[in-house]
Amino acid sequence: MAEASAVELSRVGHAYGSRQALTDITLTIPTSEIFVFVGPNGGGKSTLFRLLTTLIPPQQGQLTILGHDARQHAAEIRPLLGIVFQSPSLDKKLTVRENLQYHGAVHGMPRRIIRQRIPELLAAWDLSDRATDLVERLSGGLRRRVELAKALLPSPKMLLMDEPSTGLDPAIRRELWERLRAARDEAGLTVILTTHFMDEAERADRVAILDQGRLVALGSPEELRARIGGKVVSLASSDPERLAARIQERFGVAASIVTDSVRLELPREPGWTDSLLKEFPDAIDSLTLGKPTLEDVFIAETGHYFGPPGESENGGVGEVVGRA
């Protein structure tokens, strides 16, 4: 019965009125993969998420989820999905256990199974001693765990999460990922999540980078980084635009501006950084050498800066200087 692929998108597109939110997306997600859709806000992630949850049917192209056509057979797909929304879906006036109970009932689970599953999940997510606490009394990290326990209660085949890390501190994020991997290893769960944190996408088995509704890159984080090659240099400067222009002029390499620092792919051996420092001793405040990140991949593929949330609309997008 196990499907080879959990999700197949073939030329999927979606428009809200005249605004095309998603264009021509084709990709396949195998079962038991941890897959991340990453991109800036407005990149099409939310629309994709809605399509995958069957909240909206696809307008263009073909979407198959767990062997069922999403346009015609949403009702078959729904019982197989565990969904964690970006905004919390817990009832704060109910206890942890009650939230799980009602969720089970809305998913058509028999009472006997609900009673049996709840203690299992509470134990797995270290919530056993909070079962009778009202959700409004829990911390943000604990609420996330309850959300996940709730989504996994009906034993879904696929877990969908929209921006699950928003509002979580790094330690809790790491813990979340460990738990997700454990759940995947144990139950063969397919995990699909969206995020606008590039560093988070690095943890996935495979990543799809979305920008302006289009798929700009697809592959494992290693594969994508390998496209950039060697190393990446970050230069802090009081006048990054001028510095970038001068580097471009002097060395003929593409330089982009990322949050007030100049970023460029290292075209030659590491010793080249010395000549950079020699050439612009006053303009460079500091120099950082690092492995390329998915953010560098994003810049290389789209030609513009991947801004932190909220900045992308008001000047956060820096043009890559000197890119052909």
Partner 1 sequence: MTSLSTPIKGNAVSEAGPLVSRMPLSGGVAAALALAQREWVRFLRQRHRVFGAVGQPVLFWILFGAGLESTFRLPTAGEAALSYREYFFPGTVVLILLFTSIFATISIIEDRREGFLQSVLVAPAPRWAIAWGKISGAATLAVAQALLFLIPGMWGLGIPWHFTSFVAMLGLLLIISLALTALGFWLAWQMDSTQGFHAVMNVFLMPMWLLSGAFFPAGEGWLGIVIRMNPLTYGVSGMRHLLYWGDADAATWTRLLPSLGLSWLVTLAFAGAMMFLAVRATRKRISGDLL
- Burial of 269 per CB tally in 10 Å (0-12, 13-18, 19+): exposed
Contact code string over 125-164 relative to partner 1, x by CB under 8 A: ---------x---------------x--------------
Structure token pair of residue 197: 């944190």
Helix (H, G, I), strand (E, B) or coil at 285: coil
Helix (H, G, I), strand (E, B) or coil at 6: strand
| Number of residues binding to partner 1, judged by CB under 8 A | 47
23 vs 46, beta carbon nearer partner 1: 46
Cα dihedral 92, 115, 173, 300, rounded to 10, equals -100
Using CB under 8 A as the binding rule, whether residue 193 contacts partner 1 is answered as no
> What is the nearest approach in angstroms of partner 1 to the Cβ of residue 223?
28
Using CB under 8 A as the binding rule, whether residue 19 contacts partner 1 is answered as yes
Angle at 322 between CA 320 and CA 324, to 5 degrees: 95
**Which residues within the stretch 26-55 sit at the binding site for partner 1 (CB under 8 A)?**
41-42, 45-46, 50, 53-55
15 vs 131, beta carbon nearer partner 1: 15
Tokens 């890390």 belong to 165
Q: Where are the alpha helices (DSSP H) in 107-197?
A: 111-124, 140-152, 170-187
> What is the nearest approach in angstroms of partner 1 to the Cβ of residue 59?
6
The Cβ of residue 242 has, within 10 Å, a number of other Cβ atoms equal to 13
d(CA 263, CA 254): 9
> What is the nearest approach in angstroms of partner 1 to the Cβ of residue 73?
7
> What is the nearest approach in angstroms of partner 1 to the Cβ of residue 107?
6
102 vs 280, beta carbon nearer partner 1: 102
Phi, psi of 155 (to 5 degrees): 50, 60
**Which residues within the stretch 55-114 sit at the binding site for partner 1 (CB under 8 A)?**
55-57, 59, 71-76, 78-79, 81, 83, 85-94, 98, 101-103, 105-108, 111
Through-space distance between the first and last CA atoms of the chain, rounded to whole angstroms: 50
Residues 56 and 50 sit within 8 Å (Cβ to Cβ): yes
Helix (H, G, I), strand (E, B) or coil at 300: helix
The Cβ of residue 207 has, within 10 Å, a number of other Cβ atoms equal to 25
71 vs 181, beta carbon nearer partner 1: 71
103 vs 157, beta carbon nearer partner 1: 103
74 vs 187, beta carbon nearer partner 1: 74
> What is the nearest approach in angstroms of partner 1 to the Cβ of residue 20?
12
Residues near partner 1 (CB under 8 A) are 15-17, 19, 21, 41-42, 45-46, 50, 53-57, 59, 71-76, 78-79, 81, 83, 85-94, 98, 101-103, 105-108, 111, 134, 150
